[in-house]
Structure 1
């Protein structure tokens, strides 16, 4: 466990993982399906040690590797949704939203009166979705707004540990899955999946490190076909691996969302600059007057003030800033688990 000094309160805070476990988490963040031999080689430990640490962290609910899909590569659309609720209603409404399969990152913010979440829809529209069909008619929902996600500057397989992790560039290079032009090309034609692909991806979404034999038994494919298809889906940019952390592992004492209004001519520049900030866990361009959205994680409220006045204030083309503290995360990037919420 690590101890750090919160400069806002002067308290020593114990939080997170040991140095050895943090290195393992960083390795998995880089390549969630790296073998224990590859992880051991990069970390300078034995295969058995790497496997034992992973088993302990996984069984304790500290880490979960998820095989997730890039919506843009599948022709889907992601909406950042803000739901304002009557007092004391946000928790129950947010819990219901978290149980849906089309939502991720369901957070309570603004003193428990607002829900921020991501909603994924098949295709470009919002017809017959949670947003139009359910939320506006839900009692105690005051207002709903949706902002289409246009471009991710930082997120998906990247996390704060990508920036703050202990591994050296040489260790990262040993673990990294090679990128291809298809993986990063947003303008490429959507990839079409068959039923076997969707079943495989559903299984990986719950356990990104599931063994090929287990996946083969569940899908009816051979282990060699499973390995080949996973590689093809990764290479095409459809499949990526993320690590879901228990809140006491990475989350600091103060989290917030930012809604920034940026001069459109400076949006790409501002987004890239924001993505480089060590405090930023997610950053994306969205539709609406506030066209740059971010999630921020800092040790304390005074340090959040410093971040706003020293780093955010210097973003190119900044016109307006709105903030909302995050009080509780009901659902992260993967499928809903009751125990986690």
Structure 2
């Protein structure tokens, strides 16, 4: 990975659909060079852009974290099988312990979550136990995490280089939006002309529709990457308890730590769930110490170490975290 590659990925985290011609002067490279580099990164499964549920999903949809236990010999088999379920948008194999798999589950509503767990997940032959907690507030998630490869002047320029195409609110158009979203989940940088051909609409209509879906918070775009790009190969999830007043301060405390990938207030006796990406196992204790110092009432009750991410937001990954294929998410 060159410095330009890292800067390109960071730029696409900030403006995932920005034209190459807009990014070229900011990154000091020709637009055709950026396009070629991005094509190489995506072809190797090192980085990708995709559409994901936006901020409004937390108000209308259901976000849950599910922990599965299974026989030791069935861990990989169960992970691969669960990864094919569209509701399980992220699937992570955990270090051997009392829990074997951690899933991020998205459904349109609570009844759909109950159906998924009771009718699809729990009956699977290898599932011994299911624990489910629901996110009541989401303070940090993958689309907000940054690589930190750009300098302040580049960050400032990117912040004002691109604005959404539309503003306002949008009602979901089933016939058009599902087709658009399936394509954008697979490749968030799909060209407007290709989307227009796919939907049978004009490029202007597609542009306006994507703008409305984005500014209404129905969808967001994010740039994901393999550990070879992030340089942070270890995923650690802390579960803990904090007072109600301190939970309301999570966005000002734990969410501001640079390694914070996911932070949520959840149901259950352990009402805080936080995932961090760190450089090595030795950093896990340091991260816990820092978190507890920032939130004194936090009592960490469990430390869940990820050993392999099988699926991330609908994208199936290999043992090194590189994208192999897509199992599109459809939580809308």
**TM-score of Structure 1 vs Structure 2, range by shorter chain:** 0.7 to 0.9
Are 2:243 and 1:257 equivalent residues in the alignment? no
Match of 1:66 in 2: 50
Whether the 8 Å CA contact 1:104–1:334 is kept in 2: the answer is yes
Whole-angstrom CA distance in 1 between matches of 2:215 and 2:295: 34
Match of 2:329 in 1: none
Post-superposition Cα deviations, 1:140-186, rounded to whole Å, max 9, x if no partner, equal 3221111111222111421242xx33242313313454699979xxx
Distance 1:175 1:75, change over 3 A: same
Say which of 128, 134, 139 aligns to 1:148: 134
Distance 1:277 1:134, change over 3 A: same
Whole-angstrom CA distance in 1 between matches of 2:217 and 2:112: 24
Whole-angstrom CA distance in 2 between matches of 1:127 and 1:33: 31
CA RMSD, 1 decimal: 2.5
Say which of 48, 67, 70 aligns to 1:85: 70
Whole-angstrom CA distance in 2 between matches of 1:167 and 1:202: 34
Whether the 8 Å CA contact 1:107–1:331 is kept in 2: the answer is yes
- SS of aligned partner of 2:324: coil
Match of 2:324 in 1: 340
Match of 1:53 in 2: 37
Say which of 300, 315, 318 aligns to 2:295: 315
Match of 2:175 in 1: 195
Are 2:14 and 1:30 equivalent residues in the alignment? yes
Are 2:74 and 1:94 equivalent residues in the alignment? no
Distance 1:127 1:326, change over 3 A: closer
Distance 1:310 1:232, change over 3 A: closer
1:262-281 matches, within 5 Å, as 262-281=242-261
- SS of aligned partner of 1:331: strand
**More off after superposition, 20-29 vs 244-253:** 244-253
- SS of aligned partner of 1:141: coil
Distance 1:320 1:305, change over 3 A: closer
- SS of aligned partner of 2:261: strand
Post-superposition Cα deviations, 1:203-238, rounded to whole Å, max 9, x if no partner, equal 111011111111111111111111111111111111
Whole-angstrom CA distance in 2 between matches of 1:239 and 1:122: 13
**CA positional deviation for 1:300:** 1.5
Structure 1 runs not aligned, ≥5 long: 1-16, 184-189
Distance 1:88 1:175, change over 3 A: farther
Distance 1:70 1:253, change over 3 A: closer
Distance 1:251 1:290, change over 3 A: farther
Match of 1:295 in 2: 275
Count of residue pairs the alignment pairs up:
317
Structure 2 runs not aligned, ≥5 long: 326-332
Whether the 8 Å CA contact 2:246–2:295 is kept in 1: the answer is no
Match of 1:21 in 2: 5
Q: Output the TM-score relative to the length of structure 1.
A: 0.85
- SS of aligned partner of 1:329: strand
